[in-house]
Chains A and B, each alone.
Chain A
Amino acid sequence: MSDIIRRDPRAEWIARNRLHPLHAAMQPAQHSWMGPNGVIRKNVHGVGFIGPNGIKRIDRSGAQQGGAAKRTATVDVQLPLHQVAAPAFYINVVPDMVGGRLSSHDRDLLGLARQLAGSDGAVLAVVFGEHKENAFATAGVDRLLVLEGHAFDGYSPEQRVQGLRAVDNQFNPRHWLLPDSRSGGGELGRRFAASLKERPATRVWQIKGEQCIGRAGAGQQDLARPLPRLILAAAECADPVSETRHEVLPVELSTALARRLPRIEDLGAVAVDPAAIPMAEAEFIFSGGNGVKDWALFHQTAAALGATEGASRVAVDDGFMARDRQVGASGTWVTARVYVAVGISGAIQHLQGIGACDKVVAINLDPGCDMIKRADLSVIGDSAAILQALIAAVEAYRHGAKRDAA
């Protein structure tokens, strides 16, 4: 809601009408307080009300009538809480949690789980390790099971399958739902299915009653089959939960998990050349615009951060960056998880191009620009000084990490 003060003629009319049932609620609060010398002070401007002709009226008879109190807009609506006290059955969901948060694919999957659970069942989300999500309630999670432990750190598919099998034994869910995605869910689901010896339905995009439809082969055919216990669902398989709030009650495994010696050892991520990653699928983009004056420093910072470089239209038109680096409506629509905009004020075409980005950081001189309204973190200041400080901070951070490891 805007902050513009508007007259509400109806509210004013109710405030004047002593017979109206809402009359009492529309009376303005009397502003009076005890001053420092023990004298009662009153706000003289708060006295009275605006009459029907827009003229201020003060009723000194004692029966205050007007309603000039500004109504504060309540924007955050509490959605109705959906409670499942004693679930008849469980629908288990294993979200991907890319970057520790629910992705849109995960939300669609939770929406599908909600449909399958109906009013008696509970949706149980199984999350491995640490997470940063705080919107499980509105995403439709009734019960949350966090499997913690160092065994689940990094790439540990075999240990995770072990964990899921323990969950399966304890809760015996009616369905298991996993995202059929490349960021972990597809692989984990297939491993889990092979270990349970169940035949999953893969790339499912529609569930109707007891039938499900999934893509088959190279996508030229659909496979319709009875709904199995294990479902690997494609993106946009259902609408995410939007009209209810859920309890997110924590549950725990009753048994301790056996630690299994991993046959596949994770040696960590390998540094890849960020410039070789296609911009549309880069994870971390460092983008420069008209506000960047020192392009050598910009490239140096991108290299220090290990980010893929992007640019606004102005920077490309001025010849500082190549055309294929342009982000926005006439360039590339990026899907980065983290987008750093240096000296980009945020034309609507550029903001469209970064619509899918998760976290946006802006460095800009102008505190009123549109990019700052979009950004999750903005730093107002000269870009050159901030970039130099950023290079120094990154190097200090990397050195510190090395010293800790040594």
Chain B
Amino acid sequence: MNTHVISLVSIGAHPTSGRPRRAEQDARAVELGLQMAGDKLQVLHAGNIAEPTLRSYLGMGLAQLHVLEQPAGADALPVLSEYLRDAGAQVVLTGSQAETGEGSGMLPFLLAEHLGWPLIVGLAQVESIDSGVAHVLQALPRGQRRRLKVRLPFLATVDNAAPKPRQSAYGPAQRGELAAHEVEVEEDELFTGAVLQPAKPRPKRLKVIKAKSGADRMKAATAKASGGGGQVLKGVSPEAGAEAILKLLVEEGVVR
């Protein structure tokens, strides 16, 4: 396939130690891009070029990584949308949310809005791209998949349903080239009113029993779970029973 694919990457943080690492979902975006475009994949980062973790993306077998140079706390949206408008990409892949900073997951949505491109959320697999139309599989909760048809160019976010990223190798990581681009820096106005603080563990929700009498409290503490007043079909033929079950399954939309 000779599709022009750009993957956007960011610096992640290890969930336990908090040390910088390649971001999990961004690595998946790179992997998917490599599967789609091979060597022609372009990888783009907006941020600090001196960050050593960037090389772990190069270690996935990339020759070059483009960096739009920005200090920390700058707004990545205008520089990225400007770059992408002129880059002539057909598919842009991103992770679904950043692992550091605000991590609101808004960037792909805002980019799509700025560029006027359609956005696919939770891309799992690209089935085919011909004559400007792509058939893709979208990952849904509970392991389900949905097939979508979308016109190029489009933006897509990947989540954990996308293919697992390949390992990052040390040699290619050191040999790869970081290509810097000078861009205008715009400050992000979020942190004028907002404060980042260490995450507080959320209190576990207690099971509150609003019983008026002692008997009700006793019952709530000891009673078995019961649906209460389900329909019971007794003495019906197996066919009638099966019909009733099928009716419920079809109503719930689990039998298609």
Expressed in whole angstroms, the Cα–Cα distance for A393 and B242 within the complex equals 7
Partner-contacting stretch, out of B39-47, B86-94, B188-196? B188-196
Partner-contacting stretch, out of A37-45, A219-227, A324-332? A219-227
- Besides the contacts A205-B202, A270-B144, A348-B224, what 6 more A-B pairs have beta carbons closer than 8 Å? A182-B122, A221-B198, A307-B254, A351-B224, A352-B225, A379-B244
Expressed in whole angstroms, the Cα–Cα distance for A193 and B110 within the complex equals 9
Expressed in whole angstroms, the Cα–Cα distance for A272 and B81 within the complex equals 36
Interface 0/1 of B224-251, CB less than 8 Å to A = 1111001111111111011111101111
22 A/B residue pairs, CB under 8 Å, sorted by A: A157-B121, A190-B106, A194-B113, A200-B104, A203-B104, A213-B200, A220-B13, A220-B18, A225-B194, A236-B205, A263-B118, A264-B149, A265-B150, A373-B230, A376-B231, A378-B232, A379-B242, A389-B238, A389-B243, A392-B239, A393-B242, A397-B250
Per DSSP, chain B at the interface is mixed
B248 touches A284 (CB 8 A): no
Interface 0/1 of A333-349, CB less than 8 Å to B = 00001101000000010
B1 at the interface (CB under 8 A from A): no
A117 at the interface (CB under 8 A from B): no
Expressed in whole angstroms, the Cα–Cα distance for A393 and B103 within the complex equals 49
Per DSSP, chain A at the interface is mixed
Given contacts A277-B142, A337-B254, A380-B235, contact A200 B242 (CB under 8 A): no
Nearest A residue to B110 via CB reads A194
From 257 to 277 in chain A, residues with beta carbon under 8 angstroms from any chain B beta carbon are 263-270, 272, 276-277
Closest A-B pairs by Cβ, 5 of them: A225-B194, A389-B242, A379-B241, A277-B143, A218-B99
A355 touches B225 (CB 8 A): yes
A360 at the interface (CB under 8 A from B): yes
From 154 to 176 in chain A, residues with beta carbon under 8 angstroms from any chain B beta carbon are 155, 157-158
Please, which residues of chain B bring their CB within 8 A of the CB of A284? 249, 254
B12 at the interface (CB under 8 A from A): yes
B66 at the interface (CB under 8 A from A): no
Given contacts A281-B141, A351-B224, contact A359 B248 (CB under 8 A): yes
Q: B residues engaging A (CB < 8 A)?
A: 12-13, 15, 18, 98-106, 109-110, 112-113, 118-122, 135, 137-138, 140-151, 190, 193-200, 202, 205, 210, 224-227, 230-239, 241-246, 248-256
A82 at the interface (CB under 8 A from B): no
Please, which residues of chain B bring their CB within 8 A of the CB of A205? 202
Nearest A residue to B17 via CB reads A220
Interface 0/1 of A273-291, CB less than 8 Å to B = 0001110011110000000
The smallest beta-carbon distance between A301 and chain B, in angstroms, is 10
A397 touches B255 (CB 8 A): yes
Interface 0/1 of A354-381, CB less than 8 Å to B = 0100111101000100101111111111
A378 touches B113 (CB 8 A): no
A229 at the interface (CB under 8 A from B): no
Expressed in whole angstroms, the Cα–Cα distance for A210 and B238 within the complex equals 60
**Number of chain A residues close to chain B: CB under 8 A:** 90
B120 touches A269 (CB 8 A): no
Given contacts A194-B106, A224-B194, contact A351 B225 (CB under 8 A): yes
From 291 to 350 in chain A, residues with beta carbon under 8 angstroms from any chain B beta carbon are 305-307, 337-338, 340, 348
Given contacts A193-B109, A220-B15, A281-B142, contact A378 B231 (CB under 8 A): yes
Expressed in whole angstroms, the Cα–Cα distance for A242 and B105 within the complex equals 33
Expressed in whole angstroms, the Cα–Cα distance for A352 and B12 within the complex equals 38
Expressed in whole angstroms, the Cα–Cα distance for A272 and B255 within the complex equals 13
Expressed in whole angstroms, the Cα–Cα distance for A392 and B241 within the complex equals 12
Nearest A residue to B146 via CB reads A269
B149 touches A272 (CB 8 A): no
B142 touches A202 (CB 8 A): no
Please, which residues of chain A bring their CB within 8 A of the CB of B244? 377, 379
Most B CB atoms within 10 A — which of A182, A221, A337, A340? Answer: A221
Please, which residues of chain B bring their CB within 8 A of the CB of A283? 142, 144, 254
The smallest beta-carbon distance between B86 and chain A, in angstroms, is 21
Expressed in whole angstroms, the Cα–Cα distance for A205 and B203 within the complex equals 10
Please, which residues of chain A bring their CB within 8 A of the CB of B142? 277, 281-283
A223 touches B254 (CB 8 A): no
A215 touches B199 (CB 8 A): yes
Interface 0/1 of A170-193, CB less than 8 Å to B = 000000000000110011001101
A264 touches B148 (CB 8 A): yes
Given contacts A380-B234, A380-B235, contact A390 B246 (CB under 8 A): yes
A305 contact from B197, B236, B255, Cβ within 8 A: B255
Given contacts A190-B105, A200-B106, contact A393 B246 (CB under 8 A): yes
A372 touches B194 (CB 8 A): no
The smallest beta-carbon distance between A194 and chain B, in angstroms, is 4
B105 touches A202 (CB 8 A): yes
Expressed in whole angstroms, the Cα–Cα distance for A133 and B142 within the complex equals 22
The smallest beta-carbon distance between B165 and chain A, in angstroms, is 16
Nearest A residue to B195 via CB reads A224
Given contacts A190-B106, A363-B241, contact A374 B227 (CB under 8 A): yes
Please, which residues of chain B bring their CB within 8 A of the CB of A388? 238
Expressed in whole angstroms, the Cα–Cα distance for A200 and B249 within the complex equals 38
Please, which residues of chain A bring their CB within 8 A of the CB of B255? 305-306, 394, 397
Please, which residues of chain B bring their CB within 8 A of the CB of A99? 252-253
B256 touches A191 (CB 8 A): no
A56 at the interface (CB under 8 A from B): no
The smallest beta-carbon distance between B150 and chain A, in angstroms, is 5
